[in-house]
A and B are shown apart, each in its own frame.
Chain A
Amino acid sequence: MANWVLKGLRTGVKSSAYPNRPDDAPGVSPGRPMGTRLKSPTAADELVARCPTQAIARENGGIAIDQGRCIHCSRCRRHVGEAAAWEPGYEWAAQTSDAATALRKLAGMFGRSLHVRFVDAGACGACMSEARQINNPYYNMHRLGFFITPSPRSADILLVAGPVSDAMRLPLRKTYDAMPTPKRVVAVGACAASGGVFGPSFAALGGAAEIIPVDVVVPGCPPPPLAILHGLLVAVERKPPSALVSAAPRPTTGSA
């Protein structure tokens, strides 16, 4: 008979230090582009043209990144000309609902114990794989008070991934309606935020916000597990949110 208990004990504690301390182990996050000041005037136009999902916009002599559209294709980073700057990190979740007080209500009641229901609305599998990782020993979401529930009837938070394919409109809507209030929706991934590579088309709606009210968006393609954890923590106001648009930094000359 295999002695699983000993094996587990010998493996030791692998949990990440996040959210108490930042986790900087290599490979936890692919990083993402950030708003950059560019020197050459044509660089901005080149980068805007290179981005396949129109995530880059000209701004202030540089580029701003709409993180909800970025799919981490790295074409802006690997550009032969002036490339976009790249930021490491994983705290990417942004609030999209203006009901900040509503979020506080959820936090007050269930801030330390939440049930999460995941719905795959046409996702490619990478977002679901990352979401599944938050249950593994490295990230261990149970220590933060998050639990996965198979039924929306006992769920507080709905995690949605995917651009909402045609056939998943009704099941997603039914899942949202089956959750008792108060409830929050966290859209995971670029597809759920803006449609991603698939975009609005005849077969996909182009984001979860088209069909259900979304409170928190976790951009990324796919967002790493730590970003998803950050998203859950933002949903219960245990962490401050990030911005969805990474603006180009202002020139440092002149007064602040």
Chain B
Amino acid sequence: MSTTQFLLAFFILCAAGAILPFLTPQRWLTILLAAIGSLAALVVLVVSAMLLAFGAEFHVTLWPVLTLGTLTLETDPLSAFFLFVTALVFLPVSIFSGTYLTKYLTHHDVRYFSLLYHALFASIVLVLIAGDVISFLVAWELMSIASYLLVNYEFERAESSRAGYVMLAMSEGGTIAVAIAFIMIAGATGGFGFSELRSVAPTVTDALRWAIFLLSFFGFAVKAGLIPFNSWLPLAHPVAPTNVSALLSAVIVNLGIYGIVRVNLDLAPTTGAAPGLIVLVIGSLSALIGILYATIQGEMKRLLAHSTIENMGIVAAGIGAAMVFVASGHQVVGAIALIAALYHLANHSVYKALLFIGTGAVEAGTGTRDLDRLGGIIHGMPWTSAFFLIGVLSIAALPPFNGFVSEWLTLQTMLRSAVLSSTVIKTIFAICGALLALTAGLAITCFVKVFAMGFLGMSRSQAAAEAREAHVGTRTSLALLAVLCVLLGVLPTYVIPVIDRAVVPLAHESATAALVPPFFTANAQQPENLPAPFLSEFHDLGAQVGREFLPGRGLVVLHRGEERNPVVFAMSTSYMLVALAGILVLIFVAFRLLTRYRGLARAAAWDGGLRHLSPGLTYTATGFSNPVRVIFAALLHPAADEGSTEAVAVHFRTAIRREYTEVHIIDRFVVQPPITILRNLAEVARRMHVGHVNAYAAYVLLALLLVLIVGVGLL
């Protein structure tokens, strides 16, 4: 079958998924959704694999619109990559939905959920395969509305309505900015197909180019959740159903990144380093602010939402770096940066979906998502804990999981800024690199807190003590994603050439072809431009060990500073996995040997000789992250609300109350000031409304006079 036929089958499946639920009895609804959703996702997987890895093509011309042009659908390797990632997430989320949605069967209409779910899937795919401005914008709007309706699924709850409203309003604002940017580009050409836009891009004036960049970047940044437009993310995630949250964080925010890459690297590539630097700085700041607020959250979904902001920041930083390198003429390094960003995007989708589904499983098993009331659920939910642990290790960027690979690549590209000439740019790169490193440290703190406080230790509530293991369907989706995390981490040398295909049209150079030394490639695609002394030195490092039987030997980043002494940074997660496994086996064997003649006693933790250690005497999640709150108090600006009550006399206190409330730093500096100014202006303008008809008549007269004067003046 050709790609066109596959995609047609996909849309038919989505239509079936939207309509069939209205014809099926209630007890089959969730299974139906899971089945059709998974099947649709598989179809898209196959199509995107064909497009990306096997060089297939897709181009369909639809009907013409007025005199503007014709609607087209076409893909290139970039959109194929995003299609692949989307389907990779939709598959396990659909399987998970099969069991998760049963809790909505009683009070909500799951048929509409299924309709919206498949509409969302279809609109996302449409966005990615759109070949011209109008189809893009139409699909984009459909996607926004579908996602809003899904997020606001429990519309009867006040916070859900409010969150959905904020999300929709910000999304529409972004869409307007994007639309204006597209119109600006399209206005210069006359047609609105992407290929036409590409051809006219070099002739655009500087001012227009800046306007296009700013509007499109900030417009898409809303969808991607970058600062200063991230306020909707932490509001929307906790109120949405968990499978929708997974889609939000793992698929929909990717579309924002897709838009940024598409417009600023493909359709209207930026010139000069400044736009790239803006993207880089905003990305780094998003990363830091995102993880900072994630660390102090106590509710799992809100924590993961802030973490999404962090990861999108890292991706944006990579893209910004790529834009700077490409604009400065270092295409190969730019290609590395773009590969790092896209790899991180894929990784994030996989492990964020894993973590969200895990959160859904925890919520189903214990009834709560509050880390301060969980604890010790590893006993009741061993499988979920194991898979969740893999997700935690991945997002904390620990080897040999996937987060480590993309984090390593991103930091390497920050270091590659040494090839640039301008000191100012290099300083900015250094500062952003430091911010990313700080982010990585905080990420480990945050997710150690999540796993240790949520799953280990003593159960802090009755619900946590009685945790039940998740349903088989949930465990399947978790297992699928966990395996993906491991594979993406251990086999990066197979993944990167695939991503490279998506990057080549953008960076105009292939990183793998230029950089990978001969003994790291399986095929004979030898780079001839590597100096011989370097090759022999590398040989001595033992890079050849086991290359016959170990999969994916290693990742290499070269710094071609001088021809004589190129600097090589290499790491191999597959080697790491083998070494790790070997060490674990050795330890296990040693342990067995040493304890053969000794006894092994199991006892409760040492508690200082207390009669009884209750959970209230163990650390809570808030306590664990409180030092971070204290250290960053200048940024977080917590407002304390304290009080104490006494009985009889001041030294017999009976209760002490202490609450901290924080307003997000972006809200404080970016969102609230304009609102305050607007309010003040409105207060001033309110004085116009005196309430007398005479005054309003006078206003009409004044307006008429003004129009006459201006009109006469213009004439």
Contact = CB atoms under 8 A, between A and B. Distances in A.
Instruction: State if A and B touch, Cβ cutoff 8 Å.
Output: yes
Interface of A: 151-153, 170-172, 174-175, 177-178, 180-181
Contacts of B711: none
A174 B609 contact: yes
Contacts of B601: 180
A153 B606 contact: yes
A181 B606 CA distance: 16
B599 interface: yes
17 contacts: A151-B606, A152-B606, A153-B606, A170-B609, A170-B611, A171-B608, A171-B609, A171-B610, A172-B609, A174-B607, A174-B609, A175-B609, A177-B603, A178-B603, A178-B606, A180-B601, A181-B599
Contacts of A181: 599
A51 B606 CA distance: 42
Interface string B611-651: 10000000000000000000000000000000000000000
Contacts of B607: 174
Interface string B341-368: 0000000000000000000000000000
B597 to A, nearest CB: 12
A192 B606 CA distance: 24
Contacts of A177: 603
A151 B605 CA distance: 11
Contacts of A171: 608-610
Contacts of B610: 171
From DSSP, what is the main secondary structure of chain A's interface residues? helix
Nearest to B607: A174
Contacts of B609: 170-172, 174-175
Contacts of B603: 177-178
Contacts of A170: 609, 611
A171 B610 CA distance: 6
A153 B603 CA distance: 10
Contacts of A153: 606
Given A174-B607, A178-B603, 15 more contacts: A151-B606, A152-B606, A153-B606, A170-B609, A170-B611, A171-B608, A171-B609, A171-B610, A172-B609, A174-B609, A175-B609, A177-B603, A178-B606, A180-B601, A181-B599
A181 B603 CA distance: 13
Contacts of B608: 171
Nearest to A154: B606
A225 to B, nearest CB: 26
A152 B604 CA distance: 13
A192 B225 CA distance: 67
Contacts of A178: 603, 606
Nearest to B599: A181
Contacts of A174: 607, 609
A145 to B, nearest CB: 22
B542 to A, nearest CB: 38
Contacts of A175: 609
B498 to A, nearest CB: 51
B295 to A, nearest CB: 29
B711 to A, nearest CB: 82
- Closest 9 interchain pairs by CB? A171-B609, A174-B609, A178-B606, A153-B606, A151-B606, A175-B609, A170-B611, A152-B606, A178-B603
B617 to A, nearest CB: 15
Interface string B552-591: 0000000000000000000000000000000000000000
A152 B601 CA distance: 14
A238 to B, nearest CB: 24
B611 to A, nearest CB: 6
A153 B602 CA distance: 12
Which has the most chain B C-beta neighbours within 10 Å: A151, A153, A177, A178? A178
Nearest to A177: B603
A81 to B, nearest CB: 48
Contacts of A152: 606
A177 to B, nearest CB: 8
Contacts of B599: 181
Contacts of A180: 601
Nearest to A171: B609
B197 to A, nearest CB: 68
A180 B608 CA distance: 16
B543 to A, nearest CB: 42
B481 to A, nearest CB: 38
A172 B599 CA distance: 23
Interface in B413-434: none
A180 to B, nearest CB: 7
A113 B610 CA distance: 29
Interface string B68-82: 000000000000000
A152 B606 CA distance: 8
Nearest to A175: B609
B440 to A, nearest CB: 32
Interface string B113-127: 000000000000000
A178 B608 CA distance: 10
Nearest to A151: B606
Nearest to B598: A181
A174 B610 CA distance: 8
Nearest to A174: B609
Nearest to B605: A153
A175 B601 CA distance: 15
A195 to B, nearest CB: 21
A170 B610 CA distance: 8
B610 to A, nearest CB: 8
A180 B599 CA distance: 10
A241 B29 CA distance: 82
Nearest to B600: A180
A175 B606 CA distance: 8
A180 B607 CA distance: 15
Nearest to B603: A178
A154 to B, nearest CB: 10
Nearest to B604: A178
Contacts of B606: 151-153, 178
A172 B611 CA distance: 11
A181 B599 CA distance: 9
B604 to A, nearest CB: 9
A177 B609 CA distance: 10
A8 to B, nearest CB: 34
A70 to B, nearest CB: 30
Which has the most chain A C-beta neighbours within 10 Å: B601, B608, B611? B608
Nearest to A178: B606
A175 B607 CA distance: 9
A172 B608 CA distance: 10
